[in-house]
Amino acid sequence: HRRLPHLVGPCNAEVPELAARFEKEESKGLVIIGVTDEKQDVVDKWVASKKKTGYPIAILNGELEKVLGVPHFPFSGVIGPD
């Protein structure tokens, strides 16, 4: 069973809002990074099938999610500058 959490549901729904916010506030220092644990080819197909996000998408390797405390995917979070 292959799970594709970022290809469906809430994650897809929030991409346009995040992209619009990023475009509007990037000049003010806003940073948005999409995060997934999918393989590169899956991400490439998803990006090709959607509007551009405008922000980068990071593919995790198992370590960063531990550091940031990501409990599961899909996951949305906000990290402050401090």
Q: How far apart are CA 71 and CA 65, in angstroms?
A: 8
Higher pLDDT, 21 or 79: 21
| pLDDT average, residue stretch 4-21 | 72
Confidence label for 4 from pLDDT (cuts 50, 70 and 90): very low
The DSSP string of 8-74 is: SHHHHHHHHHHHHHHHHHGGGT----EEE-S-HHHHHHHHHHS---SS-EEE--SSHHHHHT--SSS
Rounded percentage of the chain residues whose pLDDT exceeds 90: 1
Q: What mean pLDDT is reported for the chain?
A: 75
| pLDDT, greater one: 41 or 4 | 41
43-82 pLDDT per residue, tens: 888 888 766 778 888 887 777 777 777 776 666 666 667 6
What is the reported pLDDT for 82? 66
Q: What is the Cα–Cα distance from 24 to 44, expressed in whole angstroms?
A: 25
